Amino acid sequence: MAKDNDATNDSIWLYTPSTALAIVVATLYLIPTSLLFYQTILKYRSWFFLCVLIGSCLEVGGYIARAVSTKQVTEIPPFAASSTLIILAPIFVAAGNYLLIGRLIRVVLPPPSASATATASTSSAKRIFGLRAQHITRIFVGCDVLSCLIQASGSGIASSGNWTGNSAKVGTDVLIAGLSTQVGTFVWFLAIVWRFSVLTKRGGLVVDGAPEGWLKVLWAIYASSALILVRCVYRVIEFALGIDGYPFTHEWVFYVFESLPMLPAISVFCVYHPARYLGKAGWLQKQVSEEPGVELLPA
C-alpha cells in the first residue's frame, strides 16, 4: 500500500505530517496538564504525584515541537525534540502508577497476623509476589530506565549508519529489545496490580481505617497502565516492521496508538486525583508501622 502522503526527498519525515493535527493534539493534552497542575500544585500540594504532571507537560512540549517540525521538515532539532519528549513522557506517567500501587499496598493491606508473623522471615510484611511494597516504585522505575538506555543505544547504533545497512539492522534489534523490556515490565506490573486486587477483593484483606476511595485510585492505575501497555506494544510492532513498514509511513497509526492511549492514561488522574483520596502526602503520614512477615494471602 502506498504511503498516506508523499514527503519531499529532503524531508526527515516519511510522510507529510499534519501541522493542524499536531496543534490539536497539543491543545488536547494541555487540558489535563492544566487540570493536573491546578490539582497537584495549587489545590492539594501533593508533591508525591509530580511525576505524572511532568509526563503530561512533556506530552504538550512534544506535540508543540512536532507542530514546529511539520513546518521545518528538513531540520533535525525540532524533530528530535518531539520524538524525545513523546518517548519520555510515558515513563513519567508509568512512574506515577508504580508509586501509587506501592502506596496502596502499604496503606490498604493489613499487617500479617501474629501466627503468620511467628513463621515468617525477616522481610517486610506487605509483599506482592515477593516484592516489598516500599521497593516496588524503585524496582519498576529502574526497569524503565534500563529499557530507555537499551533503546537509546539501539537508536545510536542505527543512526550512526543513517539507518541503513548492517548498522540499521543491529541498532533496530537492540532498540526492539529495549522496547520489549518495557512491555515485559508493564506486564509484570499489571500482574502486581491484579494480585493486589485479588488480595483486597477476594481475600478481603483491607485494613481498618483504609482511605476512602482507595478503590477508585486502583481502577485509575488499572486504566492508565493498560493504556500505556497498548502504546508500548505499538512501539515494538512499529520498529519490528522496520523504517519502511506501515506504521512509520502512515501518520494516522502514530496518533491512534501513541497519542490516543496516552491522553486518557493521563486524564484519568484528573477525575480520580490520588491526593483527593490519599491526602497531599499520599497517606504515608497516617501509615501504620509494618512488622516482619510474608506475603499476605487470602483466607
Cα torsion through 268, 271, 273, 276, rounded to 10: -160
**pLDDT greater at residue 123 or residue 279:** 279
Cβ neighbours of 162 (radius 10 Å): 9
**pLDDT greater at residue 102 or residue 295:** 102
* Tens-place pLDDT, residues 36-81: 999 999 999 999 999 999 999 999 999 999 999 999 999 989 998 9
* Tens-place pLDDT, residues 181-194: 989 999 999 999 99
Q: Of all residues in the chain, what percent carry a pLDDT higher than 90?
A: 55
Q: Where are the domains of the chain?
A: 19-109+129-280
Q: Which fold has domain 19-109+129-280?
A: Rhopdopsin 7-helix transmembrane proteins (1.20.1070)
Nearest 5°: the CA angle 267, 269, 274 is 175
Q: What is the pTM of this model?
A: 0.85
Whether the predicted pLDDT of 169 surpasses 70: yes
CA distances to 79, 111, 172 from 175, rounded to whole Å, are 19, 42, 5
The overall average pLDDT reported for the chain is 85
Whether the predicted pLDDT of 125 surpasses 90: no
User: Minimum mean pLDDT among 141-145, 214-218, 292-296: which range?
Assistant: 292-296
Per-residue model confidence (pLDDT) at position 89: 93
Cβ contact 182:147 at 8 Å: yes
Quick one: pLDDT band at residue 137, thresholds 50, 70, 90? Answer: confident
Cβ contact 81:253 at 8 Å: no
Per-residue model confidence (pLDDT) at position 162: 62
Interatomic CA distance for residues 24 and 260, integer angstroms? 12
